[in-house]
């Protein structure tokens, strides 16, 4: 079980309405079934690629009000940076960075409305994207021989 599914299950166990977004409809169905089996809550699923702002915005609008937004997607291709093709690096940046911006940008209007509707109680934004992943990718290839980085 991944971090995102664990967070969704925990929120569901506390009675939250859950909306999941991912590219793979099969994976979404499996995650929904797993949550529904563990908790008696409503789970909505939306298939969209985080690199596609319009698709993300459409899914966020269908999902409805957002109290808590968890941004937990990401890809990382382990390869020597010197030999890694630039299109692979661009793909990681598009998913991990631009995808995060797309999700947050699409959710902001709903989150702002939540502030207005709750008289200032802010919704929660939880970003689990780690810049350390990128730093690690570079440092593991330029480290001194006596310094070890775990993969």
Question: 25-38 and 3-13 are packed helices; what angle lies between their axes, rounded to 10 degrees?
Answer: 40
pLDDT at 148 over 60: no
DSSP string, 121-137: ---EEEE---HHHHHHH
What pLDDT was estimated at residue 120? 63
| Model confidence pLDDT, tens digit, residues 26-52 | 999 999 999 999 998 989 999 999 999
Segment 94-114 shows an average pLDDT of 89
pLDDT at 118 over 80: no
Higher pLDDT, 122 or 58: 58
* pTM of the complete model: 0.79
Half-sphere exposure of 138 (CA within 13 A, CB side): 5
How far, in Å, CA of 107 to CA of 109, rounded? 6
């Amino acid at each position: 079980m991944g971090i995102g599914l664990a967070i969704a299950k925990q929120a569901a166990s506390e009675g939250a309405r859950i909306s999941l977004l991912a590219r793979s409809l099969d994976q979404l169905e499996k995650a929904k079934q797993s949550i529904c089996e563990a908790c008696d809550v409503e789970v909505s699923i939306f298939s969209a690629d985080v690199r596609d702002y319009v698709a993300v915005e459409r899914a966020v609008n269908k999902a409805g009000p957002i109290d808590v937004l968890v941004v937990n997607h990401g890809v990382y291709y382990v390869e020597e940076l010197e030999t890694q093709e630039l299109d692979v690096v661009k793909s990681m940046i598009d998913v991990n960075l631009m995808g995060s911006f797309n999700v947050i940008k699409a959710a902001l209007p709903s989150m702002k409305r939540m502030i207005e509707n709750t008289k200032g109680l802010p919704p929660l934004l939880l970003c689990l994207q780690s810049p350390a992943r990128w730093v690690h990718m570079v440092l593991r290839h330029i480290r001194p021989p006596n310094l070890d980085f775990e993969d």
